[in-house]
A and B are shown apart, each in its own frame.
Chain A
Amino acid sequence: MRICLRKVDLPLSPAPISICRMTIRTARPNRGQHFRPRTHCLNKLESIVVEMQDPKSGVKGSEQKLNVSTIPHVITGKDVIAWITNKMKTTPEEVQAFGTMLVAYGYIYPLQNHKKLVLCNDSSLYRFQTPYFWPTQKWVAEDSDYAIYLAKRNIRKKGMLEAYEQAHYSHLHDWLNHKWDFIVMQATEQYKAGKERNKPDRVVFDCQERAYWIVSRPPFGLPLSFQNIFYQQAIMRSKVKSSVSLGALTKYVTTYKNHDPFLAPCLPSNPWQTDHDAYWTCNTRRIDVPTKMRVERWSFSLFELLSDLRGRDDFKVFLKKEFSGMPPHLMRHLSNLAFWEAAEELKWGTASSMTSKAETIFKTFLAPGAPRWINIDGRTMGLTVKGLDHPHRYVLEAAQTHVFLLMKKVHVLVSNKLEQNAQNRSLGVHPVIVWQQEEEEKAKAAAASAPVDVKAMMSKIDRKK
């Protein structure tokens, strides 16, 4: 129920009471309306709650033994659900939702599992909250009241506060420090007054008060066990010395310095500056000769080479062209690259295509005697093949990483060759020529019924304007 208001001017989300079909209009003046706009809905809820407590037609309560004391007027979840179903005559889902609202807003509170504010359709025990603690009362749940409540519990038994309550308590201690004496005094008075009551009454009151504060100050934070698991993982994870990691970060900056348009001029010109898009047209995928800067970037890492589709194309072309003269250990990179691409497609593909893709990949790359068999170590191969029994999108992860590492070894060799091949250090091609070339390409593609390159078409439409 805690509504986290963001800094944006979001309206308070309306309370989900729209499912309530009651049309009782009460004549009670709503002086609290201006700062608690939900009072109107809650009044409707109240009338229903009053009806539910009717001794003749309401929900039947009984006495329950709980931790040595007997508590009167205890109701079960399923009785509440039955009553609501009978009253509203609607679907089970709506009844369940409505019942949960009664608990969430604090009109009914659970006796077991007191932190979980839902209505369970079984023999879980609940009680009606005393009207004193109803949310529509004219007093708001103040921080000082909460501080008194926490202090009182601390006086009763040290160490009884939960982690989130401890957090609240420390915060309130700082925040309300100026009246802390008053708070402690009030807490002591209440504690003494509580001891005067007889045991069953005290237990009931404690339950009511606790329920009220669970609603007004909901628990937050992760359970400690969860946090501990996280800390253990964090401690055991491998880390690197700052000198190494920071050194790598600065090296990245230095490497890419000349390629950053904010730090060095981009050639032939920055399109946003000169209104000329030559920079983009000479860096398309199918340009005749890639620019010098682009090829240089491919040499920075295999990731750069493969991310740029033209780089990937050139890599393939290089591997194929040099086929006859190439040593065998380089030839296999053709299959490696194909496998890497197939694995990417699997990872990022639709959920429904998973099984079929996995099968094709197995037949093409992994099965013994496969046409494009990739040569990875036996252990990885074994794990991968086993994983393919239940194909999921990450099943090829280990194999893909291995293949990537293999390709990395030849990356330097390849990018050197590619730079040599790019003899024409062209800085740009005239847009008209580019456009003509793309037109030809498109005609060929259409003839081959290939899928249309949307981007090319759209930029073509723009140029025509």
Chain B
Amino acid sequence: MCDQTFVAITFGPCDCCGKASPLMNIYIKSEATNYCSFCVEVMATQGLQAGESAASLKKESDSLKKKLEEERAKLSDIELSQVAEKIEVLAPLSIKTRRVLKGHGNKVLCMDWCKDKRRLVSSSQDGKVIVWDAFTLNKEHGVTLPCTWVLACAYAPSGCAVACGGLDNKCSVFPLSLDKNENLNTKKKSVAMHTNYVSGCTFTSSDMQILTSSGDGTCALWDVESGQLLQSFHGHTADVLSLDLAPSETGNTFVSGGCDRKANVWDMRSGQNIQSFECHESDINCVKYYPSGDAFASASDDATCRFYDLRADREVAVYQKDSIIFGASTVDFSLSGRLLFAGYNDYTINAWDVLKGTRVSALFGHENRVSRVRVSPDGTALCSASWDNTLRYLGFGWATYSTVSKGFR
């Protein structure tokens, strides 16, 4: 877990506006001050201060950037490939499709597992959100949203509600009921309100808060019960396409990736942007934390997936191949973090060995681009959602160690 999250958040009157709120400790002209996140933004968007000029700021910016690069370089005393030499090679994986979930009439855009390890929620382009028991293939609940392109859906930790959002610029929470005849739309609760489409949403450790990312370039934390905005996160200069919460015991950070090619790590308490990585050459479509919380991976339109070490503050691996040209739209780790599953726009899923950087397996079977891959909470299966209107889940097959599984039934 990140060392910096051990620091207690200061809470008190802002040095600028005087209101009591979580404070960001920043340096203005080498002086340490405590500002609330709103004042930091206001101050930063103001014009040049006395004694500054565009040229001097630019010079300062360049020298600071260079210094940061130097600091990072000092700590890179070893590469991941060297460390991975001591790890044994993986046996060839045999992964087979176990089930195909058919039931969506249109492109499936997003899915999320329930903590009970067998249920999942999926959303599609025609506005339908379906809750399935993936084990028995039953559809348990269905809701039709008035908007099309439901880009984000999430299952609540308790298993009692789902959240979804998309082109309607909102994220709504639907409590699930055991009564099959009840229309879930009646209990719908609009929680998040953005000024552009909602690209990703997730619950925090409880059903009471959701975190959303949006095409308006911001992420936001909302209180479900009241719909109140608890914290907003500004820093991306283009649409934010994905976010993921850190799995660490402190659970105070999350990472977001967007069309500005940056992956930012945020402190949920103060709204501060802690770390930023600009390594991709094109839009970042998906970000996901490593199971230990000390690293994360990103998938991008430049056909690569990258792996970032948060404690050393740098990118440590790039997963790419000349034969992979189409953008990667989604990534997820297996339970131990050894495997990285990535879904691509050329209808395939590739499984990468995270430590050695090689591709372990290529999975075919979908008939259109893969929009989302997610490993189940206990790591037993991988579910992939695709624009071919289906969801497939794949599990470890009976191992035939001489061949690598290339297709499935």
Interface positions of A (Cβ within 8 A of B): 4, 6-8, 10, 159, 162-163, 220-250, 252-257, 259-263, 265-266, 270-273, 277, 279-280, 283, 302-303, 306, 344-345, 347-352, 380, 383, 387, 390, 392, 394-395, 397-398, 401, 404, 454-455, 457-459, 461-462, 465
Contacts and interface: CB of A to CB of B under 8 A. Distances in A.
Nearest to B117: A280
B312 A229 contact: no
A462 B311 contact: no
Contact of B396 (A250, A262, A344): A262
A352 B27 CA distance: 34
Contacts of B106: none
A271 B380 contact: yes
A401 B338 CA distance: 29
A10 B168 CA distance: 13
A159 B58 CA distance: 11
Given A240-B312, A273-B98, A392-B11, A250 B355 contact: yes
Interface in B361-379: 378-379
Given A243-B77, A279-B380, A257 B338 contact: yes
Contacts of A270: 380-381, 395-396
A260 B223 contact: no
A250 B44 contact: no
A351 B226 contact: yes
Interface in B47-98: 48-49, 52, 54-55, 57-58, 60-61, 64-65, 67-68, 71-72, 75-80, 83-84, 86-87, 90, 93, 95, 98
A184 B6 CA distance: 56
A231 B64 contact: yes
Nearest to A350: B225
A8 B241 CA distance: 12
B336 interface: yes
B389 interface: no
Given A224-B57, A390-B11, A394-B22, A4 B238 contact: yes
Interface string B89-119: 0100101001100000000000000001110
Nearest to B151: A8
Contacts, number: 286
B313 interface: yes
A377 B135 CA distance: 50
Contacts of A244: 311-312
B228 A351 contact: yes
A249 B295 contact: yes
Given A231-B65, A272-B381, A351-B230, A239 B71 contact: yes
B407 interface: no
B313 A4 contact: no
Q: Tell which of A245, A252, A302, A387 has the most Cβ of chain B within 10 Å.
A: A245
B60 to A, nearest CB: 6
Given A242-B78, A250-B83, A351-B230, A259 B336 contact: yes
A306 B80 CA distance: 31
B357 interface: no
A302 B249 CA distance: 9
Nearest to A2: B238
Contact of A238 (B4, B136, B338): B4
Name the 5 nearest CB pairs between A and B, nearest first. Answer: A226-B44, A398-B8, A348-B206, A256-B336, A260-B336
A261 B378 contact: yes
A245 B269 contact: no
Q: Majority SS of interface residues in chain B?
A: loop
Given A225-B52, A252-B290, 16 more contacts: A4-B259, A6-B259, A222-B237, A226-B40, A232-B27, A239-B75, A239-B313, A241-B312, A247-B83, A249-B294, A249-B309, A263-B339, A273-B398, A352-B225, A352-B226, A401-B6
Contacts of B378: 261, 279-280, 283
B83 A246 contact: yes
A163 B48 CA distance: 13
Contact of A229 (B40, B72, B259, B334): B40
A298 to B, nearest CB: 14
Nearest to A8: B149
A266 B354 CA distance: 21
Contacts of A383: 8
Given A232-B64, A349-B206, A392 B40 contact: no
Contacts of A224: 54, 57-58, 60-61
A53 to B, nearest CB: 31
6 contacts: A238-B4, A262-B396, A270-B396, A273-B398, A390-B11, A455-B159
Contacts of A256: 291, 335-337
B144 interface: no
B185 to A, nearest CB: 20
